[in-house]
Amino acid sequence: MQLSWLPNAIEFNTDIDFASFQLLEIKYRNCSEKFASGTFPCQEVRFVLQRKLGYFFIQVLERIQMDCVLQTKFKSFKIKE
């Protein structure tokens, strides 16, 4: 059995946007292998993504801020006892 990708086998809806990643490329590959017992068909697709740093930094800063708030509240709770 021979498998192959059509030219536009995977379509990406451009109206959809990832919050923290940007889709750069879609790569297709025939990963079929030949062994002594026969040929085994394989198809592979890879999505090349790039992280949006602005969104990533906002997430990190929110976590740091939340940790500071929780630590401050915990310390004030311990002081009252």
8 A C-beta contact, residue 30 and residue 4: yes
Look up the domain containing 29 and give its range.
Answer: 21-80
Residue 6 lies in a domain: no
Residue 12 lies in a domain: no
8 A C-beta contact, residue 17 and residue 36: no
Note the pLDDT tens digit of each residue in 10-19: 777 777 777 7
Residue 61 lies in a domain: yes
Residue 14 lies in a domain: no
Residue 4 lies in a domain: no
Residue 29 lies in a domain: yes
Q: How far is CA 51 from CA 41, 47, 58, 63, 66, in A?
A: 33, 13, 13, 18, 23
Note the pLDDT tens digit of each residue in 39-65: 888 888 888 988 887 777 777 778 787
What is the per-residue pLDDT for 11? 79
What is the per-residue pLDDT for 79? 58
